[in-house]
């Protein structure tokens, strides 16, 4: 009496057709459910290194402080007050920078308000201490 079946002389081939079918279905599923570009994010270009206005003068820099106030030309303003000052001074383009401890919320609110008011706003990113060469 034999309790164990003897092994076949040759190995049983692995059929990969079902595996290919499953991989293809997963590929189609992820292609249909994913987006190539995030549509709900704000695009920020970081090309402000040598940005100058058409006249050759440097673009003014506005710094968002940690409390959400904006500093421009040594004065501190709320963002809506800054917009009025920029309009009065005929400034239509700025570089927007932040202090190291500024919250992302303050930056995005200021960026949105300035852009919505018609001021061309460039994000001036300064590398942190860990990123500097």
DSSP β-bridge partners for residue 120 = 93
Domain of residue 94 covers: 61-123
C-beta of residue 52 within 8 angstroms of C-beta of residue 59: yes
Q: Specify the pLDDT at position 56.
A: 65
In a domain, 111, yes or no: yes
In a domain, 91, yes or no: yes
In a domain, 68, yes or no: yes
Give the other-Cβ count within 10 Å of 25's Cβ.
Answer: 10
In a domain, 13, yes or no: no
Q: Express each pLDDT in 72-115 by its tens digit.
A: 888 899 988 988 988 888 888 888 888 888 888 888 888 888 88
In a domain, 28, yes or no: no
Q: Please give the structure tokens belonging to residue 2.
A: 């034999």
Our CA angle for 67, 100, 61, nearest 5°, is 80
Give the other-Cβ count within 10 Å of 22's Cβ.
Answer: 10
In a domain, 19, yes or no: no
C-beta of residue 126 within 8 angstroms of C-beta of residue 97: yes
Question: Count of residues for the chain?
Answer: 133
Q: Specify the pLDDT at position 70.
A: 92
Q: What pTM did the predictor assign?
A: 0.55
Q: Express each pLDDT in 15-57 by its tens digit.
A: 888 889 999 999 999 888 887 665 555 555 555 555 555 556 7
pLDDT at 10 over 50: yes
In a domain, 17, yes or no: no
> Total domain count for the chain?
1
Q: Specify the pLDDT at position 91.
A: 86
Q: What separation in angstroms does the CA of 112 have from each of 32, 68, 116, 119?
A: 32, 13, 6, 10
CA distance 64 to 57: 22
In a domain, 83, yes or no: yes
Q: Specify the pLDDT at position 29.
A: 92
Q: Specify the pLDDT at position 130.
A: 43
CATH number at residue 101: 3.30.420
């Amino acid at each position: 009496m034999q309790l164990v079946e003897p092994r076949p002389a040759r190995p049983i081939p692995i059929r990969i057709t079902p595996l290919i079918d499953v991989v293809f279905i997963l590929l189609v599923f992820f292609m249909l459910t994913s987006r190539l570009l995030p549509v709900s994010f704000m695009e920020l270009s970081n090309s402000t290194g040598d940005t100058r206005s058409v006249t050759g003068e440097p673009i003014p820099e506005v710094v968002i402080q940690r409390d959400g106030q904006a500093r421009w030309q040594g004065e501190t303003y709320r963002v809506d007050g800054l917009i009025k000052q920029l309009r009065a001074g005929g400034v239509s383009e700025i570089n927007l920078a932040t202090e190291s401890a500024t919250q992302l919320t303050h930056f995005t609110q200021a960026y949105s308000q300035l852009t919505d008011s018609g001021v061309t706003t460039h994000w001036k990113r300064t590398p942190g201490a860990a990123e500097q060469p």
